[in-house]
Amino acid sequence: MPLQGPTGSLPLPNFVEKRLSSSSSSAKQRSLNIDNVNQNVRKAKYAVRGELAVKSEEYRAKLQKGEGKDLPFDSVISANIGNPQSLDQKPITFFRQVASIMENPALLENADVLEKHFGYKSDVFERADKLLKDVKSVGAYSMSQGAAGIRQSVADFIERRDGYPADPTSIYLSAGASSGVNTLMNVICATPQTGVLVPIPQYPLYTATLSVLNATCVPYYLDEESNWSTNVEGIRSALKKAQKEGIDVRAVVVINPGNPTGASLQPDDINSVLELAAEEKLVCVADEVYQTNVFEGKFHSFKKGLRDLQKSEKNRDGKFENLELASLHSISKGMVGECGHRGGYYEMVGFDPEVVAEIYKFVSIMLCAPVIGQCMVELMVNPPQPGSPSHPLYDQEYNHTFHSLESRAKALYNAFKEMEGVSCQPPQGSMYLFPTIDLPVKAVEAAEKAGKKADEYYCLRLLDATGICIVPGAGFGQKEGTLHFRTTFLAPGTEWVGRITKFHGEFMDEFR
Ligand SMILES: Cc1ncc(COP(=O)(O)O)c(C=O)c1O
């Protein structure tokens, strides 16, 4: 019998397969097997690192060993995951200079060398000194919630961004936004009947975490025709339907700007979601990790939306006073792209202090977020300001990354516009495009024959023909009867876009 991957459908990487098959005779001596491990983990799905990603890594390894002569491509492009620095994005020099001193304070003994030969400026030393005073050593645990000085910087940033004060005691530093989401969901989800409203399509962290926690995902659909907008009536009807089925819906997740859609919510949409949350007593979880990846219009935060509402006429009966809002941000995305350092934060407002105490306990059990990641959070929220010695280079690097992301998004969008059967909403933000594909009936039949969904089949064929790894729409959720794929626009150059166009033409011809 062929070995099955942990989701029941994924193939396992070669090394795992080898280990399993060589030891199947001793399986009886083991405590754990696939049927007795936590079945909630087994049923969770995370397509961005699924079957296609595993296969693409095998191709990459083959090419690296010089064994890929039979392959029709000479490089693998990982357009499946928003991992900026694994592609073209360069780290921001100021961040890495400060981090280098944080990791090795002995460098300070040769500060003149750093200045003369490595271009370190005085504000790099000042910042490293400030951070070292706050955390003492990046090799030490910080307090559970994160270093106090760094949380103060985050609060100052939120205040500058939104025009309303933020309280550092309401800010939790985390190992990326994922860890924050995990904490929040662990505390929110009490029984299998606990429901959380999740946008579809969505970044599968949410569906996967809810699966692991054996809670109920309550999907609400974003509106592709109006550029993937969030329609509050759609959320309300999903909520009512779930409530009728006995689900205790406690939270609504909004990804703003969206992954995989890139859409940003406008103030009116934000208000509508917050009004619904207040009326229905829902915790609002605002995932704002792409807040600087916005090409169209402007980013509007949920926190500002809430504070505006609290000040407005609409709050005369105090209905927004206790609205629970958790907003998340991360160093992984934007022009920072430091996802390997695992840093982020979430701010919680309106929560019951006894609930906050449980959240505090939950994060304490995991001790603290990586301290170097916490320092990166500080640098993200408090970058060099105009007039400071490191500002010119910071500004140049930031703008270069922003504009190259924007121009790649446009180049990819223009290519998609020309492809038969592909329609794509204009790029608005985040790091992805999520086009619809309309495949010929014969291609859908060929997919069925191969035991695949049609979008999976298309993506697998693309990978086999071009070495480009993208993710089928099914991995994010899509309306019944529609097919999509998601690609990042992080990969450098435009040669790979040409590979997609060529493959697509040939694929369509094959199944005409
Ligand atoms: C919407 C969204 N939220 C959270 C994350 C996780 O980010 P982090 O690296 O901060 O855990 C991602 C990563 O792609 C994402 O797209």
Question: Mind listing the pLDDT tens digit for each residue in 124-171?
Answer: 999 999 999 999 999 999 999 999 999 999 999 999 999 999 999 999
- The predicted pLDDT at position 10 comes to 44
Q: What is the pLDDT of residues 431-443, one digit of tens each?
A: 999 999 999 999 9
Rounded to the nearest angstrom, the distance between the alpha carbon of 177 and the centre of ligand 1 is 6
Cβ of 260 below 6 Å from ligand 1? no
Shortest-distance atom of ligand 1 to CA 176: 10
Nearest to 50 by CA among 22, 73, 78, 72: 78
Rg over CA atoms, the chain: 24
Shortest-distance atom of ligand 1 to CA 178: 11
Residue 380, pLDDT above cutoff 50? yes
Q: What's the mean pLDDT in 44-72? A: 89
**Measured CA distances, 15 to 19, 20, 52, 57 (Å):** 6, 9, 16, 12
Do 139-381 and 14-19+33-78+399-511 fall under one CATH topology? Answer: no
Cβ of 330 below 6 Å from ligand 1? yes
Q: Which residues contact 466 (CB under 8 A, 6 or more apart)?
A: 72, 73, 77, 496, 499, 500, 502, 503
Secondary element (H or E) of residue 362? helix 353-365
Rounded to the nearest angstrom, the distance between the alpha carbon of 331 and the centre of ligand 1 is 9
The yes or no reply on domain 14-19+33-78+399-511 and CATH 3.30.70.1450 is no
Cβ of 368 below 6 Å from ligand 1? no
The CATH fold of domain 139-381: Aspartate Aminotransferase; domain 2 (3.40.640)
Cβ of 82 below 6 Å from ligand 1? yes
Cβ of 454 below 6 Å from ligand 1? no
Give the start-to-end residue ranges of the domains of the chain.
14-19+33-78+399-511, 139-381
- Rounded distance, CA 150 to CA 178, Å? 19
Cβ of 212 below 6 Å from ligand 1? no
- Using pLDDT thresholds of 50, 70 and 90, give the confidence band for residue 25: low
Answer yes or no: pTM beyond 0.85. yes
Q: What's the mean pLDDT in 7-30? A: 54
- Using pLDDT thresholds of 50, 70 and 90, give the confidence band for residue 382: very high
Rounded to the nearest angstrom, the distance between the alpha carbon of 330 and the centre of ligand 1 is 7
Tokens representing residue 409 in the block: 């998004």
Residue 251, pLDDT above cutoff 90? yes
Q: SS3 for 486?
A: strand
